[in-house]
Amino acid sequence: MSSLETAVFGGGCFWCLEAVFQRLPGVKSVESGYMGGRVENPTYREVCTGTTGHAEVVRVSFDPSQISYRDLLDVFFAIHDPTTLNRQGNDVGTQYRSVIYYASDEQRRAAEQVIAELTAAHEFSSPIVTAIEPAATFYVAEGYHQNYFNQNSEQPYCRFIIAPKLEKFRKSFAEKLKA
């Protein structure tokens, strides 16, 4: 068995990202949390003010022998809008920014390459604004944020925001999910 690697992504509400990444073969765990700010041990309430500098992120532990970092990047860019600065739908603020926190130069180069390829292919009608930054301290979000969609799928935000995103993901990545 190969050792696990870690990827950290921010692309709007962490509940949305968590729900999708949890469904990928080769992903062993997904934790919602905060990264990139200047306050130690921030709370959700503090992060929501937009004054801590943190982004809502997910930390994805994956087995690279089953799923590549490149595959995770492809999913990341498919499940959120990387062209909106500090916004995903109705979620507005710096805590909802599109960001990739890299753990190695290899991850940084892969992220830069994917953005270059998407830009060259005119995959989006507006420029990609996703930041690529070195990983910083990851602060695990409060317990009620973990595994959120799976435990609250009937909640309105889950039904109207996350469920359609999951359905789009299932359709786009049906072949990969059969792996």
SS3 content of the chain, % helix, strand, coil (to 5): 40, 20, 40
CA distance 19 to 70: 19
Q: How far is CA 148 from CA 93, 140, 141, in A?
A: 21, 14, 11
Start-to-end Cα distance in the chain: 17
| Mean of per-residue pLDDT scores for the chain | 93
- One of 13, 16, 48, 158 is an active-site residue; which one? 13
pTM of the model: 0.93
CA distance 122 to 126: 9
C-alpha dihedral sign at 83, 88, 93, 98: negative
For the domain with range 5-177, which CATH number is right: 1.10.760.10, 3.30.1060.10, 3.40.50.300, 2.40.30.30? Answer: 3.30.1060.10
Domain layout of the chain by residue ranges: 5-177
Q: What does the pLDDT look like over 8-55, one tens digit per residue? A: 999 999 999 999 999 999 999 999 999 999 999 999 999 999 999 999
Q: Is 13 a catalytic residue?
A: yes
